[in-house]
Amino acid sequence: MDSKIFEAIVKPFIDLTRTEARIYQGHEVLKSLDTKPGEVDQVALAAKSMLTLKHNCDYMILQSTYIFGIVFDKDSDLSVIFGPFVIRDSLKDEDVRDLMIKFDLDLVYVDGFKEFISSLPKMSIPSFFNLLSGMNAAVNHEEVKLSLKETETYDLDSLNSAYAEEVKTIEQKEAPAHPENTFDYEMKVMECVKEGNFRSLFQILSDTNLRNPEYSTDPLRDYKDRAIYFITLVTHAAMEGGLDPSTAYSINSLYVQQVEACETQPAVSQAVFGGIKEACNKVYSICKYNTDNPTVNRAISFINEHLREKINSKSIAKELHLAPGYISMRFKKKTGIDLPTFINTQKINEAKRLLTFTDKSLSDISNYLSFSSQSYFQNIFKKITGITPKKYREKYQKNNDDK
């Protein structure tokens, strides 16, 4: 897997957890993804041991207090380590001292270290396992079932007791099972997105809810977390379907922000399903123009990856090291559409998304997509869609708000 794609897949999970993270290539740090870096580089201290773990999805617990996670890409030497999370409600002084000794820290700074620990995110072990297995599913497309394992770094008996109690509490709430919560359901949705199969996707999504979180102490937060995880899986599937990483990550970022702004579960569902449908549509717009000509397919990919730039036959020819006239001729022959029309159509499709889901002005959208002027943008938009950008926004942004 390419490192940029790997980062695009794991970053939303890291943003969600608000903890430290490092992407590694082999044993070398490729990139830091800290959202709230601390004075003590916890990940670096844990990495030496964790990078030797054998499973694609694994974890390490220290002193019955900290937990770190790691996901290896099974097809490359990339991995991500994230954490730590505090898995206990309170720490004794001897636990804090043991941690400082473990990290080779001067005990003189014990008060400061206690304050540092109190600032770390807290997460139950079952929740952490769900997060870790979800990230692994996004990276490796495999289902894993995690459980506590025997190791010398923590008291297995005490943690097993706490873990069992947490699981029992969840089960006793008798949350109804929904097929959309299952691994198979997620894989079906991802397959539809990967193939750009909008009809099948609509059939799967209709009359379903993302999740029923009645057993949660914070149902809306639980619903949002699930939505963000699902959007991440979908954008990964879209990249596998041919969508360039920058566009996929743009979709991910836009709909994650929408999810976070929602105040009700139905609004969250609407946002996440909107993201799924847009990703599927983007892949479909690529697939329907795919041809048996590699040169034309490369031209299509270049156009979709550079919609924000001024694109013409000359810029495409320069990228592909071919003559502009030859590119234009082959494109028309294989797709049935002349090159300028295709470029404008793809730009207008992006403009429709921006008009519906953002508050960017017409001038900003025109500049963003590198049209020569706002009036030219408006003329092209009306020519392709049949209505002006202003009327399109009034119609579809209102419809989106009403759902």
CA distance 169 to 216: 10
For the chain, give the mean pLDDT. 77
Lowest-confidence segment of 225-229, 319-323, 348-352 by average pLDDT: 225-229
Partner residues linked to 18 by β-bridges: none
pLDDT at 181 over 70: no
The structure tokens 């694109």 sit at 311
Contacts of 166 (CB under 8 A, 6+ apart): 124, 125, 126
CA distance 97 to 109: 10
CATH class (in words) of the domain with range 3-144+154-172: alpha beta
CATH of 294-402, one of 1.10.10.10, 1.10.8.60, 1.10.10.60, 1.20.1740.10: 1.10.10.60
Residue 329 is predicted with a pLDDT of 93
CA distance 186 to 282: 19
Q: Which of 163, 171, 123, 169 is nearest to 146 (CA)?
A: 163
For the chain, what's the residue count? 403
The structure tokens 């079952």 sit at 126
Domain boundaries, the chain: 3-144+154-172, 179-287, 294-402
Mean pLDDT of 233-245: 77
CA distance 75 to 167: 33
* Tokens linked to 390: 């202003």
CB atoms closer than 10 angstroms to residue 258? 20
Residue 71 is predicted with a pLDDT of 94
Q: How far, rounded to the nearest angstrom, does the alpha carbon of residue 220 sit from its chain's CA centroid?
A: 19
Q: Prior bond to 12 cis, omega within 30?
A: no
pLDDT grade for 144, boundaries at 50, 70 and 90: confident
Instruction: State what percent of residues in the chain have pLDDT above 70.
Output: 75
DSSP 122: B
CA distance 390 to 379: 12
pLDDT at 387 over 70: yes
Q: Which of 138, 151, 135 is nearest to 53 (CA)?
A: 151
Q: pTM above the 0.75 mark?
A: no
Lowest-confidence segment of 25-39, 138-152, 161-175 by average pLDDT: 161-175
Mean pLDDT of 380-390: 93
Helix (H) or strand (E) holding 193: helix 183-195
Mean pLDDT of 194-220: 61
CA distance 283 to 195: 7
H-helix segments, 241-337: 245-261, 265-287, 294-305, 313-320, 324-335
Residue 208, φ and ψ in degrees, nearest 5: -130, 155
CB atoms closer than 10 angstroms to residue 52? 8
